[in-house]
Amino acid sequence: MKKILLATDLTVNSDRAMERALKLAVGTRAKLHIINVMPAYKAKGFGTTFKKDTEDLIKGYIFDYKDSEHIDITITAIQSREPFAEILGYAQKIKADLIVMGMHGKAKFPDLFVGTTIERVARKGAQPILMVKNKPTGPYQSILAGVDFAPASRAALRMAMEIAPQGVFSAVHTYQVAVAYPTMANYAIEAYAHTEETNKKAMDAFLKTEISHFKKEHNGKTKRLSGKMVEGAAYETLVKEARKAKADLIAIGAHGGPVLTPSKLGGAAEYILAHPPCDVLVVRE
């Protein structure tokens, strides 16, 4: 990882995101870009003054961080009425490998989640996004990766390995078997067995490839990457498994929709961002 972009609105939640971004920059030796999108003020000269004050405030936060002298940091305050567009434009300009943002206050409610800055960045951007919920206490230790064997979930797991190479990873594949009518009991049993066998083969192949990647790229040990299959709805199952594993990070792939709905994230990714039990990493395919 070469470049991390922290998008901050200087609220309480964004303090946690800033601390996490600083820790990641130290751990990965990446350059850290910090952007704050300010309201577009019409008063002459006010915007320039507010820009300087904002940048000085961010410098103050950084100065208090003990390892800040080891990080290459660029700070930018921009005036705009469309924060998400500025964030995505800046991320594209610097070719950011990761965007870090704090959890928006509205993210607790799915119906209010739509329209928040982080939701728009996640829907319309191409870069991986790390949404920080909890105050960092150190590097990520327990990471749960939602796996459906598609390119996006593989990319999410690999990005998680990059930002937490010393962590313990659990790849969880959720699935559901269609309910059959009583007269179709034999068919249901066969369908269930077939689903189990197909998923197990896919998981074994997935783990074999990712363990090899982990060992090659991050000197990761086999015992720190395991996989399991769990029957149930994706969102509820992943959150339940994350709590059981005491995960401090969930990594999940987001699937793009068809041409007419290019902003679609995918149900599980959207629900987890709306109800995050911990920090969430979302990677698009």
* Identity at 27, one-letter amino acid code: G
Say yes or no to pLDDT of 196 above 90: no
Q: Which of 94, 109, 133 is the last residue of a domain?
A: 133
Whether 18 and 120 share a structural domain: yes
- Looking at the structure, do residues 123 and 158 belong to the same domain, yes or no? no
Token pair, residue 54, equals 């904002």
Say yes or no: 147 and 112 in one domain.
Answer: no
Query: Is there a single domain that holds both residue 96 and residue 143?
Result: no
pLDDT one-digit tens code per residue, 246-259? 999 999 998 744 33
For residue range 127-157, what is the model confidence (pLDDT) as tens digits? 999 999 999 999 999 999 999 898 999 999 9
Confidence category of residue 182, pLDDT binned at 50, 70, 90:
low
Give yes or no: residues 144 and 126 share one domain: no
What distance separates the 2 farthest-apart alpha carbons in the chain?
77
Q: Which of 133, 168, 189 is the last residue of a domain?
A: 133
What is the C-alpha separation between 6 and 115, in angstroms, rounded? 20
- pLDDT value at 194 more than 70: no
- What is the tens place of the pLDDT at every residue in 16-36? 999 999 999 999 999 999 999
**Range with the lowest mean pLDDT among 6-15, 231-240, 276-285?**
6-15
- Do 144 and 259 share a domain, yes or no? yes
Check pLDDT > 60 for residue 263: no
Please indicate, yes or no, whether residues 55 and 154 belong to a single structural domain of this protein. Answer: no
Query: Is 157 in the same domain as 115?
Result: no
Question: What's the N-to-C CA distance of the chain in angstroms?
Answer: 18
Mean pLDDT of 172-196: 67
Instruction: Identify the top-confidence range among 79-88, 113-122, 206-215.
Output: 206-215
Q: Is the pLDDT of residue 187 over 80?
A: no
Q: Residue 75: which domain range?
A: 1-133
Interval 60-71 mean pLDDT: 80
Are both 3 and 113 inside the same structural domain?
yes
- Pairing state between β 142-146 and 249-254: parallel
Record the pTM. Answer: 0.85
CA-to-CA distance for 80 and 101, rounded, in angstroms? Answer: 18
Mean pLDDT across the chain, nearest whole number? 83
Q: Hey, is 36 helix, strand or coil?
A: strand
- Co-location of 163 and 127 in the same domain: no
- Considering the domain architecture, whether residues 262 and 129 belong to the same structural domain is answered as no
Window from 1-5, 33-37, 81-85 with minimum mean pLDDT: 81-85
Q: Examine the domain organization and report whether 170 and 275 are in the same domain.
A: yes
214 or 50, which is more confident: 214
Counting the structural domains of the chain, the total is 2
What pLDDT does 259 receive?
A: 34
Domain edge (last residue) among 117, 133, 149: 133
pLDDT value, residue 43: 59
Cα–Cα distance measured from residue 245 to residue 229, given in angstroms and rounded to the nearest whole number: 14
Which of residues 195 and 26 earns the better pLDDT score? 26
- What lies within 8 Å, CB to CB, of 252 at 6+ separation is 145, 146, 153, 156, 238, 268, 269, 272, 280, 281, 282, 283
- 5: domain CATH number? 3.40.50.620
Chain centroid to CA 182? 42
Task: Give 257's Cβ-side CA count (13 Å radius).
Answer: 13
Higher pLDDT, 45 or 7: 7
Q: How confident is the model at residue 59 (pLDDT cuts 50, 70, 90)?
A: confident
Question: Does position 75 have pLDDT exceeding 50, yes or no?
Answer: yes
